[in-house]
Amino acid sequence: MANMAQAVRMALHYAEKNLGVTDIFGEDVGPPLGGVFTATQGLETAWNSPLDERGIIGMAIGLAMAGARPVAEIQFADYIYNTIDLLKIAGNTCWTSNGDWNLPMVVKTPVGSGIRGSIYHSHSFDATATHIPGWKIVIPSNPLDAYGLMISACQEINPVMYLEPKALLRVKGEERIPGEPEDEKLLSKMIDAPLGDRSRWKPQWPRLEAYAVPIGKGKVVRAGSQVTVVSYGRTLPLCKKAADELAAEGVDAEVIDMRTLWPYDWELIKGSVEKTGRVLYVNEDTEVTNFGEHLVRRTVEELFYKLVAPPRLLAGKFVPGIGLADTLEMASVPQQGDITAALRSLAAEQP
C-alpha cells in the first residue's frame, strides 16, 4: 500500500496530466530533492523557488490570477505565518470582486508534531487557517483520502489549503489507491527516486484513476452508540485505536474523521451527537482559540437538549512551542492514552 507522501505525489501527477495543474513549486520542491518529504518527486511541472514564503504565496496568487492553476508548498507550516496578509488577500479576492475574479490555487504545507521537529518544525495551522475566510481547508488522515482530497483541491476555482500531517506522511494506507500496483515494492521502484545521482532518473507512473473525496464531507470510520469522538489528521488514527481498545471494556465509541475543516460536515457530527449524547473533540493544535472550541460552542448552542454530558475538547497544551525531547513532545500534544482516558471518563458521565 502507498504511504501518504506517495499518495500526494500520485495525486499531483494525475492533476498535472488531467486537471490542468501548471506549476508545483516551493523550497526544494523540484529536482533533485522533490520535497523534504518526497511528496513532489518526479513531477513534470515541479520547480524550486527561493527561500521566500511571501514570494511563494505571492507567485501563486499571480499565477492563479493569470489563468494558471498552481500548487504552492510552504515547506513547514511554521513558516507560513509571515504570509497571513497574502493568504487573506487570496481568500477575499472572489468575494471582494463580486465573483469576477477566481483564484484556482492550492497551498500545501506539512503540519503538526511527530517527527521530533522541536519549536520550528512542529506547529499546527488548522485553527489559524479557519480564521481566514474564503479558503477551503482539508487535512487527510490516510493515504487514500490524501489522494482524493488533493484531486478535489486541484479542481476548485478558489483557494484550498491542504494540510499534511507530517507524522503520517510515511504511514502506509489500508486501502489501495485506484491504479496503484498491488506490489508495494514495485510502486516504490516505479515512483521513488533513488539515492545518489538522480540526474537521469524518471518515474514510471502507474495508470492512475480519478478518485475524488468531496470537500466538506466527513466520514464515520467506526460506528458506535455511547460516545462520539471527532478528529482529523494525526490524532484521527489514535482516536480509532482508543475506541477499539475501549470496546473491550464495553464502551462503544463512534469515530468521525472530519477530513475538511472548512466547510465542515456539521450534519454528520450533529447526527452522531444526537445519537450518542456525548462528544469529544480531539486535535493537536493549542487549546486556546482552538477550532475544537468552535465545535464545542456550536454543539452547546444547537444540541444542548440532546446532550447527556458536557462536550469536551482534548487538544495541545498552550505552550509557545514543542520541545525536542521525546517526553516533552509527547506531553505537549494528545497521545493515545490521553484519548482513551478522556473517552472512558466521558462515557461514564451521567446527567
| Catalytic annotation, residues | 121
DSSP string, 72-91: EE-SSGGG-GGGHHHHHHHH
- The whole-angstrom distance between residue 309's C-alpha and the CA centroid of its chain comes to 29
Give 186's Cβ-side CA count (13 Å radius). Answer: 7
Q: What are phi and psi of 274, to 5 degrees?
A: -60, -30
Q: Is 198 exposed, middle or buried (0-12, 13-18, 19+ CB in 10 A)?
A: middle
Rg (Cα) of the chain, in Å, rounded? 20
Q: Could you give the 3-state DSSP secondary structure of residue 256? A: strand
Q: For the chain, where are the alpha helices, taking DSSP H only?
A: 4-18, 53-65, 84-96, 126-129, 143-153, 184-191, 235-247, 266-276, 291-303, 326-332, 336-348
Q: 58, 86 in Cβ contact below 8 A? A: yes
Q: 339, 235 in Cβ contact below 8 A? A: yes
Cell of 5: 507522501
